[in-house]
Amino acid sequence: MTERKKALVLFSGGQDSATCLAWALDAFDEVETVGFAYGQRHAVELECRDRFAVKLRARFAQWAVKMGGDHTLDLSLIQALGETALTSDSEIAMGKNGLPTTFVPGRNILFFTAAAALACRRGIKHLVGGMCETDYSGYPDCRDDTLKSLQVSLNLGLDARFVIETPLMWRDKAATWAMAYELGGQALVDLIVEETHSCYRGDRTQRHAWGYGCGACPACELRANGWDRYKAAG
């Protein structure tokens, strides 16, 4: 199998990355996944990613044969670099710099750097991430320009030819739900609702139509609003 037919998906266990995993399984011959433990407040997502993968294999035989290794990397140095609302119990609010306090400086840059180093050893060319700048919290490391620049830097620094794939970059959350339906029908939508986790507070005590979460943090609001628009367009 050539590197052109293999992909590594940055799979957190959330809605966006789960949809990207389905997209990659539809597009490539072999797909591996990587998750990151970085002291995140919503570490429950790491448990969700395991359950989601198991059920995805069981319910989608055509994708199960393409699913390769899963990797979880320790990036706890992110938490050691300083406090944010995603790596501590501090308040989720808008910061003085105009960014939410849930912004973790350098997180996606470190994620892709670690993923590229892993992919280099695994003979994988395509790196898939669920970043989006159409309907998001304003994080600068989710922007298309950031990721295009990062792709260039990784290729120069690793003497490689990686392609960073961001299938959700120009889709809002409603379109992300629609994409999941197009890829796997209602079965995939239901699986994403039930087994993924996107709430910044890590709350899985409250079940909503769109999934589990506190219902009030920015991630829950984006997901809920997207779900409502998706159902309205139905």
Kindly state the tokens that stand for 160.
């490689």
Kindly state the tokens that stand for 49.
């990613």
Indicate the helix (H) or strand (E) that contains 74: strand 67-74
Check if the beta carbon of residue 1 is closer than 8 Å to that of residue 22.
no
pLDDT digits (tens, 9 = 90+) for 100-159: 777 888 899 999 999 999 999 999 999 999 999 987 778 898 999 999 999 999 999 999
Whether residue 1 is predicted with pLDDT greater than 50 in this model: the reply is: no
User: Distance between CA atoms of 218 and 160, rounded to whole angstroms?
Assistant: 36
Burial of 25 (0-12, 13-18, 19+ CB in 10 A): buried
pLDDT digits (tens, 9 = 90+) for 215-225: 999 899 999 99
Q: What is the pTM of this model?
A: 0.93
Q: Please state, rounded to an integer, the average pLDDT across all residues of the chain.
A: 92
User: Distance between CA atoms of 9 and 17, rounded to whole angstroms?
Assistant: 8
Whether residue 3 is predicted with pLDDT greater than 60 in this model: the reply is: no
Predicted confidence at residue 101, as pLDDT, reads 77
Residues in the chain: 234
Domains and CATH numbers, the chain: 3-233 (3.40.50.620)
Whether residue 4 is predicted with pLDDT greater than 60 in this model: the reply is: no
- How many Å from the N-terminal Cα to the C-terminal Cα in the chain? 40
